[in-house]
Amino acid sequence: MLVIDEYLAVRVLVGARPEELPDVEALVLTAYRHYRLLQRIHQPGTGQLSRLLADSDQQAIRRPHPEILQILDPRPLLDEAAAIGARYSAAGLLVGETIAAGLTYGHQLWFGTQRNVGTRLAQIADDLRIAIHVADPG
């Protein structure tokens, strides 16, 4: 099981999986990262994807097929996420859950761009010996 970010989740859904992503059985996106993607569909604004994407495209993002992309149940990770938030100066749900997922699933996290890693997440991951991999489109 490999924990990936929003960028890689979208690339996997559209069939543009980066070559460097290991060939594993399951690719997973944390619930709050899925929530961030869903906000791009539901929030009004100039970048609102629901105006730009067909219903079938939206459905693929809203309810991913588990064979292609799984959404992690956040409940088993919440205690660890809260502990991380408390230890590392209120890291927030997104970072806490991502780090908890990295600790639980293989001590590695995969991102589609360095910018989406974030300074705080990178520092905590380094402290907890979680490897950060970036499959940048270059």
Partner 1 sequence: MGAMTIGEELLEERRRRLRAGDPRITSEGRELLLRMTTGDLMEDFQAALDADLAADPALGGHDIDEDA
Residues that bind partner 1 (CB under 8 A): 6-7, 10-17, 23, 32, 35-36, 39-40, 45, 47, 49, 52-54, 56-57, 59-60, 64-65, 67-69, 85, 89-96, 112-113, 115-116, 120, 137
Identity of the residue, 89 or 129, whose beta carbon is nearer to partner 1 in the bound complex: 89
What residue has token string 């890291």?
91
Beta carbons of 59 and 117 less than 8 angstroms apart = no
Beta carbon of residue 81, minimum distance to partner 1 (angstroms, whole number): 11
Q: How far is CA 34 from CA 19, 71, 87, 129, 138, in A?
A: 23, 7, 25, 24, 24
Nearest CB to partner 1, comparing residues 36 and 133: 36
CB of 134 to partner 1, least distance (A): 13
**CA 25 to chain centroid:** 17
CB of 4: closest distance to partner 1 in angstroms?
A: 12
Q: How far is the CB of 56 from partner 1 (least distance, A)?
A: 4
Structural contact between residues 111 and 135, judged by C-beta atoms closer than 8 angstroms: yes
Distance CA 50, CA 79 (A): 34
Residue 40 vs 133, nearer CB to partner 1: 40
Residue with Cβ nearer partner 1 (24 or 131): 24
What is the sign of the dihedral through the CA atoms of 79, 131, 116 and 51? Answer: negative
